[in-house]
Chains A and B, each alone.
Chain A
Amino acid sequence: MENLLVAENIYKRFGNFTALNNVSINIPRESIFGLLGPNGAGKTTFLRIINQITMPDEGRVYLDGKPLHQDDIVHIGYLPEERGLYKSMKVGEQALYLARLKGLSKAEARERLKFWFRKLEIEDWWDKKIQELSKGMAQKVQFVITVLHRPKLLIFDEPFSGFDPVNANLIKDEIIQLKEEGATILFSTHRMESVEELCDYIALIHKSNKLLDGKVSEIKKEYKSNTFEVGLDAIDEATLRQELETRFQVGPARFKSIQDDLKLSIKIGENETSNELIQFLLSRARINHFVEVIPSVNDIFIKTVTQNA
């Protein structure tokens, strides 16, 4: 079985408002899956459905090939966007309680907590109350609680939005490590930088509809426009540009370089390869810079959203 989680034709309405309109998503095993979309697109509703906090009006969710069941909560770790802890409870006690709600025995939970607290160097927080901790400290505790029961599926809703940069980095590293240890990670975000760094797969939700999903590399291939950025050192830049313009689509380009080059972005024909462009350039100028323009997830995001607007 290739997919850990399969969501089929999910519909969810709140009164007259449709939050999810026929959304189907497959999440492959041991991957990092990014759920993208502007604010209010329906990402959180989708995550809540997987966590069985809200029920879909229509559609089915399968985990490990079996319909999602109440007992499956022990296989899922969820860090919601709106996250907090009991203010007047001690850190250790609270973590134990939440871990036991996820099905761990008291002894097991305590042992694993000790391990994580040591790992994150927060051992001396055990007997502190949450209200004595800073927000960043509380975030670390929340993260530990989310992953403690070693779920197959980890769900983070906007994991980087609430975290300070140091903790955001820490979470990023831990996410990668958890994936290497065999977990599947689903996170939602509207910040694209983190997607580029982490995600193997993405799905794009906009106004309750899924517009796009798949492997990041394949999506990028699909969205690339056969465009290359070049930095050229030519004697007569104006003539070269004219020559290029008769043959290709040419536009200005902006990139950093130590040379005082002619910087252009050149789009070649559908059936042409980069070699043909290089051959064309070789005889006319020295090539200091040659890079294929790969669309960023951000570009794809904006392009798709505006296309469907």
Chain B
Amino acid sequence: MRNLRLIIHREYLARIRNRTFIVMTFLSPLIFVGMILLIAYLSMLNSTEQKIIGIHDDSGMFASEFKDTKNVQYLDYSGRDLADARQEVLTNEYFGLIHISSAPGEKTNVEFFGKDTPGFGTIENIEKTISDKLTREQLIDKGIDVSEIDKARAKVNIDIQNFAGERSSKMSNYIKMFFGGAAGYLLMMFIIIYGNMVMRSVIEEKTNRIIEIIVSSVKPIQLLLGKVVGTSLAGITQFVIWVLLGTVLLFGISSFLGIDPLAAQTPASTVVDQVPQPEINQLMVDILNLPYASLITFFFIYFISGYFLYSAIYAAIGAAVDSETDTQQFMFPIILPLILGIYVGFFSVVENPHGTVSTIFSIIPLTSPIVMLMRIPFGVPWWEILISIVVLIGTNIAVLWISAKIYRVGILMYGKKPTYKEIYKWLKY
């Protein structure tokens, strides 16, 4: 135990004193915040840009239907000569001119003149305004009371409850997806970044030729565990610094520059804008009602055992090779289940959190940490979680055992480019 502590301590210090590590720790939040602010700034530019669109309405029916908005201002050219109107729009560099040519009783024809092709939103808006007006007019023509239709229009909002009577809403599904997705994605990133770090540190000890001095003092399994733990502690340190520094920077710089970082998520915020108040209240209730205790508990269980599982494999690979360039052939089996986990998570779990695919992949040990983390916010039966955790921990023990075997043989092997066959033989030494 004493030695394990010493090793963890050394590994931790070795990681965080590494120059690249320090640079990345402080540079990454800067880059990240810079990106967010840039996107926010650009979308702000987009939204402050004002378009002026001219309307030349032959029928005189529609011009008044076009209401000015924050981004678009309409000018009425109806009654003027069309060629004049076009000329004026052109010389004033307005965005474009809508020409509605219809006499009552005839088919309405709409034209748009402009320097640039208008975006989907603009076109849709124009079409909708005209079609709404036309529909109404035609309904009135047929002698139908439009106000009655407006009254009759009903908004349906499904009130989702489970059998225990807990309410949830569509929005809460987004929230659950967000929590699960973030957890799964975080785990994948953590595994790739710090698993690689474990591997590199094993290779470093091999190439430095210090490994034999160390293993004459400690058991290889202690060294392996110390490395994995030390590196992950360094990883957690880095993550915490990223989050803290990122938050401070994001809000510090954005208030300094006057950019609203939330503007970067325009689509999401529009969704929220359109949600009526009761649903927002329900949303808050949903967020507060998420089973945090179990979420956090399972997050730690899956995060730690998932990370351990992959780190042990990374360490075994590091022990088997002489240099980082030799690791390529062994990377595929690591990356594949990770990517598969993320894919299953973002496609299958989102679609159907308790479907067959999601269930199976949340039990297969190499994908279960990611997939199960994504499923848990949606509520998973306890026995499924139990099976998944038992399988995961069992695999962990098996993989640690195999890795330790490969490790203790591999660290003393030099100059041989190992094959899978060769490594399989090491298991029997």
Binding site for B on A (CB under 8 A): 14-15, 48, 51-54, 70, 73, 76, 78-80, 82-89, 97-98, 100-102, 142, 145
Contact = CB atoms under 8 A, between A and B. Distances in A.
A48 B411 CA distance: 13
Given A70-B219, A86-B14, A100-B6, A80 B212 contact: yes
Interface string B342-373: 00000000000000000000000000000000
A83 B209 contact: yes
Contact of B210 (A15, A53, A84, A102): A84
A53 B212 contact: yes
SS class, residues of chain B in contact with chain A: helix
A101 B209 contact: no
Contacts of A78: 212-213, 216
B38 to A, nearest CB: 36
The 8 closest A-B pairs by CB, nearest first: A84-B209, A80-B212, A101-B217, A78-B216, A84-B208, A51-B216, A82-B209, A84-B210
Given A51-B216, A80-B212, A82-B212, 19 more contacts: A14-B429, A53-B215, A53-B216, A53-B408, A79-B213, A80-B213, A82-B209, A84-B209, A84-B213, A86-B14, A86-B204, A86-B208, A86-B210, A87-B204, A88-B14, A98-B217, A101-B3, A101-B218, A142-B213
B210 A73 contact: no
The contact size tier of chain B is 20 to 34
B217 A73 contact: yes
Contact of B213 (A70, A83, A100): A83
A80 B14 contact: no
B153 interface: no
A169 to B, nearest CB: 23
B414 interface: yes
9 contacts: A14-B429, A53-B216, A80-B212, A80-B213, A85-B213, A86-B208, A97-B6, A100-B6, A145-B213
B216 A82 contact: no
A194 to B, nearest CB: 21
Interface in B184-219: 204-205, 208-210, 212-219
Nearest to A80: B212
A73 to B, nearest CB: 6
Nearest to A155: B216
Contact of A85 (B3, B18, B210): B210
A15 B428 contact: yes
B107 interface: no
A288 to B, nearest CB: 53
Interface string B1-30: 001001100100010011000000000000
Contacts of B14: 86, 88-89
B339 interface: no
Contacts of A101: 3, 6-7, 214, 217-218
Nearest to B215: A53
A78 B412 CA distance: 15
A120 to B, nearest CB: 18
A97 B428 CA distance: 33
Contacts of A54: 408, 412
A101 B208 CA distance: 18
B425 interface: yes
**Which of B210, B408, B412 is the most central at the interface, judged by chain A CB atoms within 10 Å of its CB?**
B210
A73 B6 contact: no
A82 B412 CA distance: 9
A71 B269 CA distance: 63
A72 to B, nearest CB: 11
B425 A97 contact: no
Given A15-B425, A15-B428, A70-B219, A83 B212 contact: yes
B360 to A, nearest CB: 38
Contacts of B215: 53
Contacts of A73: 216-217
Contact of B216 (A76, A85, A87, A88): A76
A100 B10 CA distance: 11
B325 to A, nearest CB: 19
B386 to A, nearest CB: 36
A80 B6 contact: no
